[in-house]
Homo-oligomer: A and B are copies of this chain.
């Protein structure tokens, strides 16, 4: 039976933009698994699967229902061991949690400040109200304050990506010669930025841009088709 991946969208269901959902999409393609993606608006998420999760991604695989992108990757690695590994062994699983920490606590903050107003503009009115309230509570600042920091955040982005650039001096992917889930963690962040703002705000010859392009090329360019 085909799996269902619930993801996140605004008014246009053809432009799912959540960084965490993109991690799950890339992990499913990495494993070569067939799935149907069902993008949902923020306020629709609690109405599917009997309200099983307040957040997406949420994966339905037969009797199994798994939320959280990292837990989905662990589930896929365990349930489909014959497909290409998402982690490259136990050391890779463990280190991916630090990659997640770096992505969420160094990179996401900068991207949020760049993309906030663009994301808001993609949403229907009911979702805009939810988004504004939840983000102002989470970030402790008003939308107007955050919007004023957009240019400074674009300026700060290259430095936030310096750890990734450092790594790319040694190897083409976080996974080494080929991508692993660690790549999809950071890809998800920049794909979120690209879809919501139309750009990754980096020079095309930046090693990070070239790595991002390699990720967009994966799996017949599936991630490039959404823009």
Chain A interface (Cβ within 8 Å of chain B)?
Answer: 85, 87-102, 104-106, 162-167, 170-171, 173-176, 180, 182
Contact = CB atoms under 8 A, between A and B. Distances in A.
29 contacts: A85-B91, A87-B91, A88-B94, A89-B89, A91-B91, A91-B95, A91-B175, A92-B92, A92-B94, A94-B173, A94-B174, A94-B176, A94-B180, A94-B182, A95-B99, A97-B167, A98-B98, A98-B163, A98-B166, A98-B167, A98-B182, A100-B166, A101-B166, A102-B106, A102-B163, A104-B163, A104-B166, A105-B166, A106-B162
A176 B101 contact: no
- Number of copies of chain A assembled together: 2
Contacts of A167: 97-98, 100-101
B92 A171 contact: no
Is chain A's interface secondary structure helix, strand, loop, or mixed overall? helix
A187 to B, nearest CB: 13
Contacts of A87: 91
